[in-house]
Chains A and B, each alone.
Chain A
Amino acid sequence: MRQSFFARNPSVVIFLCCLAAFTLVVSLLSEGAGTGFISTSFIKTLGKTLCLCLIAVAMDLVWGYTGILSLGHFAFFGLGGYMIGMWLMYERTRDIVVSSMANAQIPPTEQEVVDAIGTQIFGVVGSSEFPLVWAFADSLVLQLAMVVLIPGLLALVFGWLAFRSRVTGVYLSILTQAMTLALSLYLFQNDSGLRGNNGLSGLQNLPGVEASQAVVSVWFLWASALALGLGYMLAAWVVSGKFGSVIRGIRDDEARVRFLGYSVEGYKLFIFVLSAVIAGIAGALYYPQAGIINPAEVAPIASIYLAVWVAIGGRGRLYGAVIGAAFVSLVSTWFTGGQVPSLDIGFYRIDWVEWWQVILGLSFVIVTLFAPKGIGGLFDLITDRVRPDRHGADYGPDKGSFQEAEGRE
């Protein structure tokens, strides 16, 4: 008899239990629940961290399992955020406009309301017309659909173009980086229709919801935890079966898989689009908690940090990605938040806000050099999981045994 999915993947069960327990404990200790051990802003930080874990899972699918080092996944993340942000901003501005117009003696027409919203939203970029991209901003359902469709479509077009011309390895990485740079430069323009470098703001206010931010933040924490749980299960399911074996095969030796008759481009494209969609959803949950989105979020550096998280957490295992994203982003918040006391070493005073980046960069080099398995590798010590014997040192998952044999000869 075939074992069930969970029985074959005990790590998924453990992960889901940990996530559920974490969410429960944090909810109980939140201000929203009345206990108030954890401040609302920290609840938001935790919720955002869960979203970052979700995009790290997506990144692990693409990089750790398929071997495509994408340096552009934050483009999809940001697009998801922009899509939901458009609806949030439109509806909230509409509420404000309608309530301010209610005082007028003659009730406004529909068109006047829309014009007033346009003036409110686009006043900062010297316009008042709604650009075409805002056509569906008044419909939550359509904007939610676009959270999935727009990043998916971009990934589909880009991936199809890139994979069909067999751009691989570092070329693909640089190309994805160029893609996210192009997107951020485009969004920085005032006439892009998304408010240029002002970005979208006031996203933390849910239109039509009276509840306080303390409560709303807990809702978002739940939503993020749910999305992470589902995304993790989906990713685990995708990589567990035969499909997973094929994509790992592509990672280790693409040409060999192609010669075996698999449509390598199809597999890569599927994974690329799937991860883009997951990234879009993560972004759509992240930015309402952050409250503001601007084109700087899409800048290439963000996507590189994503790769750093996954590398530090441990590629090729989903929990590694989650741990890496959670650990590095929380530690980053801690160091850059100025809460760590400065260290006085006599002749120089080390201010951690300034030196954290240096530590991060160097520790990243060290992880790459000495611990390619990342933090996730520690779990191998507990479970005694033995990797396949590949005759030589572990070169990390992106190049296969063939490379390694050649490299050491």
Chain B
Amino acid sequence: MWRILAALTAFLLLATSPEAQETPVQDLLAQNLDLISESSRRTIGPAIDAIAESGLPEAQVVLQKWQNREMWLRESDGKFFWAEEIDRDTLRIFDFDTGDDLGEVPDDDFDQIKPNSGIRALIGVALVRFQLTDPNPARRWDALQAIERDAEAALLEPLRASIPDEPDPAIRAKKERLERLLTISYDADEAARLEAIGDVSGDISLDVRGTLNPLLQTRRKVVEGEIPDTDNVARQLTPGTDALPRAEAYAMLVDAGMAPARVSDADLMNALTANIDGAVVGGVPVAQLNTIDARERAYRALMAEDLVPPFVSQGEIDTALSAHAFYDAYVEPSTAVTDAAEDAMTAITRNVGASQAIDLTLDALSLASIFFLAAIGLAITFGVMGVINMAHGEFIMMGAYTGYVVQQVIPNYTVSILVALPLAFAVTFAAGVAMERLVIRWLYDRPLETLLATFGISIALQQIAKNIFGTQARPLTSPEWLDGALVINDVIGISYIRIAIFVLALIFLCIFLFIMKKTRLGLETRAVTQNPRMAASMGINPDRVNMLTFGLGSGIAGIAGVAIGLFAKVTSELGQDYIVQSFMTVVVGGVGNIWGTLAGATMIGFFQKGVEWLNPSNTLAAQTYMIVFIIIFIQFRPRGIIALKGRAAGD
């Protein structure tokens, strides 16, 4: 009552006569002089509250100065100032009410107020309420983040108090959320905590999980006889199960001083070594101590002479274990709270599982689109023309290096990518046409030799790339707008590059379908593929068609190279990493059918991610099992998922 009256008076005086030299802060401090100068953590509360709740604009400054040990008391008249220490004996003092510089004075008459760390923490809490109601939204946001980082019970009240007046909806939502979390952790009222837990149940955010986990923390305990009712038991444990192996249970007893220590193997060896008498220990010759049996015999002999601590037998261990109860007890004493938290966690785990499934699906889709992108060029050369191109991987690599070179010339990443894509197509198209003209066309009737000859080209190209660009990985930087990730919640997130690759794969699918179904070249390619001589007699030049088709397949590989280079390191071995997977994709999908390639890529992508999910630490294992799976899959569908039927199947 007193305080409010004082504050009211001060406010009225200030409002009515702004010119007058009123000193509300000084008055307030003077009222709390005893408490402040006593400076005890237990009694300081009302003083801090008085200042914080005074409503004075200077209250925040006072608290800050006090917290920073910059508040001084003039002993002669009991007035407070804040001051800077000029040197050992001189202070520059300032008035709290006006902020005026009162000049330099000797410090003889002044006494520094030195709040201890407990008091400073209390002041800090009081300060948070100022920050929470600060007119500057950024300051409020900072305060919330500070609370989030470093929550404590005392912050709950000011936080709650600040919610109704919050104008900014985003900050208000954040405040309300934090209030729920702090309620769970610190509210004294159990019903409120239960309600808050119910509110966040199923929320998969990390902060919720971080709040609930400490509630569910357990401590492993052992007692003689029955479990006391006072403990909030999470689960009872039986020694000898997976949760509590016998050795561990007995070690707990030993640590608690409830049972004698076992003689470990090392102790046994040390005891035997220490008691070697000539060449004999306990009547057993040292040379015979190379069996466990002989060692125990020797030890028992030593035991009989009381030279070593007694051996604890299995029977004694059994008795000791059965006489005690082992259990995990929650650190949190309230059963209702832990039960509610367990329920909430179950719901959260379920939702996290669902989110992970979605995340995994997205990952698998993105992997599938990478495989598809790498394989689509091959689907043309191998699938449509039946030509094995082992240098396909090297065309991907050439595309990636083209992108790298373009970035050296054009510094703007967006422009350079836009230039690199067609340029990579042009480079690899030219390389593909050259290869078809020089090598492959002589080998159309000899598929196995095509494989070997293109492999020769592949190692030559790889080495040339190594000679030009060196062995270290070259960066191919993506434009800024592809940085970052689309984050849906704390579990689901997918980087923009992967989305871009997915889109690119879709675009390629459309381009491929368009060329094959709607253009003259596609028609001619299909004709030459089905029957070259018939096509030739219809006026199609098979040589030209083969050349262009091969160039097209290679060109697409080049573009895929730019895309792959954006997220993988560009090295001369880049292509090698994709070639086997690409062939697998085409073979599994079914040769000669773009939908098959799509299905193959999807299947391989999902399978690989699935295995990775079962065994997350090990991507190598995932690849191994994937290949084994493919080998087995080929057994059942030797012509792939989508097999050509009838004449087109050929052979």
Residue B243 at the chain A interface, CB threshold 8 Å: no
Pairwise interchain contact A189-B621, C-beta atoms closer than 8 A: yes
Whether B289 is near chain A, meaning CB under 8 Å from some CB there, is yes
Question: How many residues in A have their beta carbons less than 8 Å from beta carbons of B?
Answer: 59
Assess the A177–B463 pair: CB atoms within 8 A. no
Check A358–B464 contact: CB distance below 8 A.
yes
Q: Are B457 and A361 in contact (CB-based, < 8 A)? A: yes
A307 within 8 A of B: yes
Knowing A165-B635, A357-B463 touch, does A396 contact B449 (C-beta < 8 A)? yes
CB distance from B269 to the nearest CB of A (A): 6
A398 within 8 A of B: yes
The smallest C-beta distance from B89 to any residue of chain A, in angstroms, reads 65
- Residue interface mask B253-294, A partner, CB < 8 A = 1: 000000000000000010011001000010000110111100
Structural contact, A355 and B467, CB atoms closer than 8 A: yes
Chain A residue nearest to B276 (CB atoms) is A105
B451 on interface, CB distance cutoff 8 Å: yes
Instruction: Answer whether A364 and B452 are a contact pair too, CB < 8 Å, given A165-B635, A178-B630, A399-B446.
Output: yes
Chain B residues near A356: list those with CB within 8 A: 463
Is there contact, CB below 8 Å, between A179 and B631?
Answer: yes
Residue A308, interface by CB 8 Å? yes
Give the nearest-CB partner of B632 in chain A.
A161
**Would you list which residues of chain B between 580 and 635 have a CB under 8 Å from chain A?**
580, 583-584, 587, 618, 620-621, 623-624, 627-628, 630-632, 634-635
Q: Is the CB of B448 within 8 A of A170?
A: yes
Using an 8 Å CB-CB cutoff, how does the interface string of A347-381 with B read, 1 for contact, 0 for none?
00000001111101111110011001000000000
- Is B289 within 8 A of A106, CB to CB? yes
Stretch at the interface among B184-192, B368-376, B437-445: B437-445
A182 at interface (Cβ–Cβ under 8 A)? yes
Are B452 and A395 in contact (CB-based, < 8 A)? no
Interface assignment of A6: CB less than 8 Å from any CB of chain B:
no
B631 touches A175 (CB 8 A): yes
A357–B459 Cα gap in the complex (Å)?
A: 7
Q: Please pick, from A110, A182, A395, the residue contacting B628 in the complex, using a CB distance under 8 A.
A: A182
User: Which of A106, A161, A364, A407 is the one whose CB lies under 8 Å from B445?
Assistant: A407
Are A165 and B634 in contact (CB-based, < 8 A)?
yes
Given A107-B286, A110-B290, A167-B634, A368:B460 Cβ within 8 A:
no
Closest chain A CB from B430 CB (angstroms) = 18
Q: Contact flags (1/0) for A393-409 with B, using CB distance below 8 Å?
A: 00110110001101100
The reply to whether A365 and B449 form a contact with Cβ atoms under 8 Å apart is no
**Does B240 reach chain A (CB closer than 8 Å)?**
no
Please give me the residue from chain A that is nearest to B461 by CB atom. A361
CB-contact partner of A189 in B273, B466, B618, under 8 A: B618
Determine whether A126 belongs to the interface, using a CB cutoff of 8 Å to chain B.
no
Chain A CB within 8 A of B455 CB: yes
- In the assembled complex, which residues on chain B have CB atoms less than 8 Å from the CB atom of A237? none
Residues of B contacting A179 with CB < 8 Å? 627, 631
**B291: chain A residues within 8 A (beta carbon):** 109-110
A365 to B460 CA separation, bound complex (whole angstroms): 10
Q: Which residues of B contact A128 (CB under 8 A)?
A: none
Cβ A109 vs Cβ B457 within 8 A: no
Q: Mark B552-566, 1 if CB is under 8 A from A, else 0.
A: 000000000000000
Interface residues in B369-395 by Cβ distance below 8 A to A read: 388
A contacts with B: majority SS? helix
Cβ contact within 8 Å between A178 and B627: yes
Of the residues A162, A174, A354, A395, contact of B467 by C-beta under 8 Å: A354
Task: Check B463 against A354 for contact (C-beta < 8 Å).
Answer: yes
Is B638 part of the binding interface, using a Cβ–Cβ cutoff of 8 Å?
A: yes
Q: B106 on the interface (CB 8 Å rule)? A: no
A150-184 at interface with B (beta carbon < 8 Å): 158, 161-162, 164-167, 169-171, 173-175, 177-179, 181-182
| Contact between A69 and B638, CB atoms less than 8 A apart | no
Pair B624/A182 contact, Cβ less than 8 Å = yes
- Residue of A109, A357, A361 with highest tally of chain B CB at under 10 A: A361
Nearest CB of chain B from residue A239's CB, rounded to whole Å = 19
- Whether the Cβ atoms of A185 and B627 lie closer than 8 Å is yes
A300 to B292, CA, bound (A): 49
Question: Do B627 and A396 touch across chains, with their CB atoms under 8 A apart?
Answer: no
Counting chain B CB atoms within 10 Å of each CB, the highest count among A106, A406, A407 belongs to: A106
Partner of A106, one of B272, B457, B635, B636: B272
Please tell me if the beta carbons of B459 and A361 are within 8 angstroms of each other in the complex: yes
Closest residue of chain B to A160 (Cβ to Cβ) is B635
Docked pose: A300 CA to B573 CA in angstroms: 13
The one of B290, B439, B451, B628 that contacts A107, using a Cβ cutoff of 8 Å = B290
Are B388 and A170 neighbours in the complex by a CB distance under 8 Å?
yes
Would you give the 0/1 interface string for B55-77, flagging 1 where the beta carbon is closer than 8 Å to chain A? 00000000000000000000000
Count of A-B contacts with CB under 8 A?
A: 160
Q: State how many residues of chain B have any CB contact under 8 Å with chain A.
A: 56
Asked if B458 lies at the interface with its beta carbon under 8 angstroms from chain A, I say yes
With a CB–CB cut-off of 8 A, which chain A residues contact B462?
A: 357
A181 touches B446 (CB 8 A): no
Interface residue A227 (Cβ < 8 Å from any Cβ of B) = no
Which residue in B287, B388, B456 is a CB contact (below 8 Å) of A368? B456
Does residue B484 face the partner (Cβ distance < 8 Å to A)?
Answer: no
Query: A300 to B393, alpha carbons, bound, how many Å?
Result: 14
B171: Cβ under 8 A from any A Cβ = no
With a cutoff of 8 Å between Cβ atoms, the chain B residues found around residue A354 in the complex are 463, 466-467
Report the bound CA distance from A360 to B462 in whole Å. Answer: 12
* CB-based nearest A residue for B454: A365
Q: Cβ of B583: which chain A residues have Cβ within 8 Å of it?
A: 174, 177
A407 to B449 CA separation, bound complex (whole angstroms)? 15
Q: Chain B residue with minimal CB distance to A350?
A: B467
CB contacts (< 8 Å) of B455 on chain A: these are 304, 307-308, 361, 364
Render B453-491 as a binary contact track against A, CB cut-off 8 A, 1 for contact.
101111111111011000000000000000000000000
Q: Chain A residues with Cβ under 8 A from B272's Cβ? A: 106
Query: How many angstroms between the C-alpha atoms of A116 and B630 in the bound complex?
Result: 40
| Residue A186 at the chain B interface, CB threshold 8 Å | yes
What 0/1 pattern do residues 109 to 145 of A give for CB contact below 8 A with B? 1110000000000000000000000000000000000
**For the complex, is A311 an interface residue (Cβ under 8 Å from B)?**
yes
Question: Quick one: closest B residue to A356, CB to CB?
Answer: B463
Contact B449 A364 (CB under 8 A): no
Task: Tell yes or no: A266 within 8 A of B by CB.
Answer: no
The yes or no answer to A108 lying at the interface (CB within 8 A) is yes
**Known pairs A181-B627, A311-B452, A364-B456; A106 contacts B634 (CB<8 A):** no
A188 at the interface (CB under 8 A from B): yes
Counting CB contacts under 8 A, is B447 at the interface?
yes
Tell me if A395 and B446 are in contact (CB < 8 A).
Answer: yes
For the complex formed, measure the closest distance between the CB of A38 and the CB atoms of chain B, giving whole angstroms: 30
On chain B, the residues within 8 Å of A109 by CB distance are 290-292, 295
Inter-subunit contact A69/B448 (CB<8 Å) = yes
Produce 1/0 per residue, B471-513, CB < 8 A to A.
0000000000000000000000000000000000000000000
Residue of A whose beta carbon sits closest to that of B463: A357
In the complex, residue of chain B having the shortest beta-carbon distance to the beta carbon of A372: B449
Asked if B580 and A365 make an inter-chain contact with CB atoms under 8 angstroms apart, the answer reads no
Contact of B448 among A182, A369, A398 (CB under 8 A): A398
Evaluate contact between B452 and A161: CB separation under 8 angstroms: no
* CB pair B624 A186 closer than 8 Å: yes
Which residues in window 306-357 of A have CB below 8 A to B? 307-308, 311, 354-357
CB <8 Å contact, A360 and B459: yes
With the chains together, A69 CA to B292 CA distance in Å? 56
Q: How far is the CB of A63 from chain B (nearest CB, A)?
A: 8
Give 11 CB contacts A-B under 8 Å.
A106-B295, A111-B292, A165-B638, A166-B638, A170-B447, A175-B634, A191-B618, A304-B455, A357-B459, A398-B449, A399-B448
5 closest residue pairs by CB, A with B: A361-B460, A364-B456, A357-B463, A407-B445, A182-B627
| Further 5 A-B residue pairs, CB within 8 A, beyond A186-B621, A364-B453, A407-B444 | A165-B636, A186-B620, A354-B467, A356-B463, A362-B456
A interface list, Cβ under 8 A from B: 69, 105-111, 158, 161-162, 164-167, 169-171, 173-175, 177-179, 181-182, 185-186, 188-189, 191, 300-301, 304, 307-308, 311, 354-358, 360-365, 368-369, 372, 395-396, 398-399, 403-404, 406-407
